[in-house]
Amino acid sequence: MLVLPLLLAACGPGHPGLTPELAAGTPIPRVEHGANHGFTVSYSNAAVIATEEMPVTADVAWQALPRAYAELGIDVKLVDPASHTLGNLQFRPHGGIHGKRLSEYFDCGVTMAGVAMADVHALHVSVRTQIEANGTTSRAHTLVEATARSMDGTSNDAVPCISRGKLEPLIAMTLLTSL
């Protein structure tokens, strides 16, 4: 059974490899179309570290982590053995992740036509997992951040996205099955 407590913090102490890169914990405005052509604006911090308990030592989890990333189609570009941190700061998913649309994993807002920006814009994703020793077991801490950029050339500004909290447990579950 997966137990995934989400720590609502930009970066917790003891996680030096998980410093937010993209939004740096800045509150992100979300505008949603409401009933009767109204709009709702809400704010949220983008950086969330998800933690999963692993039933194995940190060394065993660390060795399995690259397999988990490969199974999800995430190329590993960052490997820091000193902090047991692995990930990709410039992952560019095309067409989805693990067979699902990008909007399943990221909320980047919607276009004027009501289409999820995560599905029609180019996403730049920063994803990192750090393995922490916990006696004879370990913990996997994952931080996912993303921005979206229009591909039609009408805007150069990147739109911050919020993780929907689905990729982090998928990484943890894939790690568990890779052990």
Q: Tens digit of pLDDT per residue, the chain (179 long)?
A: 333 333 333 334 446 566 555 444 445 444 554 444 444 444 454 567 899 999 999 999 999 999 999 999 999 999 999 999 999 999 999 889 999 999 999 999 998 889 999 999 999 999 999 999 999 999 999 999 999 998 877 667 888 899 999 999 999 999 999 99
Distance from C-alpha of 95 to C-alpha of 119, rounded to nearest angstrom: 8
29 in Cβ contact with 79 (< 8 Å)? no
Nearest residue to 86 (alpha-carbon basis) of 69, 71, 73, 107: 69
Question: What pTM was computed for the model?
Answer: 0.78
Nearest residue to 118 (alpha-carbon basis) of 101, 100, 133: 101
In the numeric block, which tokens belong to residue 17? 């490899």
Domains and CATH numbers, the chain: 6-178 (3.30.530.20)
Question: How much is the pLDDT for 156?
Answer: 72
58 in Cβ contact with 131 (< 8 Å)? yes
Distance from C-alpha of 18 to C-alpha of 84, rounded to nearest angstrom: 11
CA atoms within 13 A on the CB side of 143: 30
Distance from C-alpha of 118 to C-alpha of 131, rounded to nearest angstrom: 29
